[in-house]
Each structure stands twice: as structure tokens, then as C-alpha cells.
Amino acid sequence: MIPPAMEGPDAVMERELQMAESMILNSGDLVVYPTHGVGKVLGVEKQIIGGQALHLYVISFPRDRMTLRVPVEKAPNSGLRPVSTKKVMESAIGTLKGRARVKRAMWSRRAQEYEAKINSGDPISIAEVVRDLHRKVDQPDQSFSERQIYEAALERLASEFAAVEKIDHEKAHQKLESLLMAA
């Protein structure tokens, strides 16, 4: 097998097409884009960009009032994926119930790690951030940046939890908050 770095452009394109074909998304499917959260596939459209014809997934993110177009061939490499299964979400919920693990590194370094976990799109990693940054009533207040990261992670986890459980976003948010308070 030829290492990806040594493959020719045709071989890379062929591999990307095979990966794209293995992930076929249909109109109406719920998907997760790592840096934006849960969206809904509106369809596939063909556009000419730079003289090349591209097939693009059109994905709507109603909470952000945004529409994103992702090339079908690049979708797997971009991190676009279907919404998690119930089993994966149960694992993420189990992570929330665990004990917080706060490293003794400087805040700026930890903040970068937390942002990377949130932007990975992995529900278990996002649950780790929520768990680690959650403050109970008897604990000291968070700094502004800690609170911002916590809210972003909780929002991202709640949106996927709502999609998996087929419940409204506010109910998902409340369920996660109650799980955190009980832990």
C-alpha cells in the first residue's frame, strides 16, 4: 500500500470519492458538522466553482440561521457525520456522570484543549468538557472565558442529545443540567 503522502493526485481523488460514496446523505438527514453542531441536509446541488463541477451537500443550521455547502467528496474528511447513535450518546451521558478531571496546566493551555475537544464534534469529548467545567452551587464562580467554553460545549451536546432522543432542545438542555447537578 502506498502511503497517502506519496499517492498521486488521481489516487487521492479516487480514495476521497470512495470515502464519500460510503457516506451517502439524503435530504432531511440530521448530521453533525464539528465546528457548527447539528444541522439538516436540505439536499445535494451541483455548482461550477473554478471551472470544475462540484456536488455539494447543502446543510441548514437553523439555530445559527446558517446554510453550509460541503463538497460531497470532502465530506468525510471535513468531519461531517450522521448524528450519533443512542449507544454513543449513552456513553457521553455516562461521561457527564463521572468525576471532573481538571489538569493543573495554565488556563490558556486548558482552554485550547477544551476548544479542540468541542470542535472535534465527538460527543464524548464534548461531554468531558461539560463535566470538567461544570460548577455546582457550592463551588466558586467561573471566569468569563470558562463560562463561555462551558456554555458552548453544553449547547453543542444538548443539540445532538435532542436530535438523538427526538426531543426539543430546551428539554435536552434541562435533562443535561439535571444530570450534572445529580452527579
Name the superfamily (CATH) of residues 86-182. Answer: CarD-like, C-terminal domain (1.20.58.1290)
The tally of CA atoms less than 13 A away on the side-chain side of residue 36 is 23
Looking at residue 4, its pLDDT comes to: 45
Looking at residue 105, its pLDDT comes to: 85
Mean pLDDT of 65-76: 90
Q: Which residue has the cell 426539543?
A: 168
Q: For the chain, what are the domain ranges?
A: 4-82, 86-182
| pLDDT tens, residue by residue, 128-177 | 999 999 887 667 778 899 999 999 999 999 999 999 999 999 999 999 99
- What is the C-alpha to C-alpha distance for residues 18 and 135, in angstroms, rounded to an integer? 45
| pLDDT tens, residue by residue, 98-134 | 888 877 889 899 999 999 999 998 999 999 999 999 8
Residues whose CB falls within 8 Å of the CB of residue 137, separated by 6 or more in sequence, listed in order? none
The pTM score is: 0.80
- List helix spans (H) across 23-85: 75-78
Nearest to 74 by CA among 89, 88, 57, 94: 57
- List helix spans (H) across the chain: 9-22, 75-78, 86-96, 107-120, 123-133, 144-165, 169-182
Mean pLDDT of 53-64: 90
- What is the C-alpha to C-alpha distance for residues 110 and 106, in angstroms, rounded to an integer? 6
State the architecture of 4-82 in CATH terms: Beta Barrel (2.40)
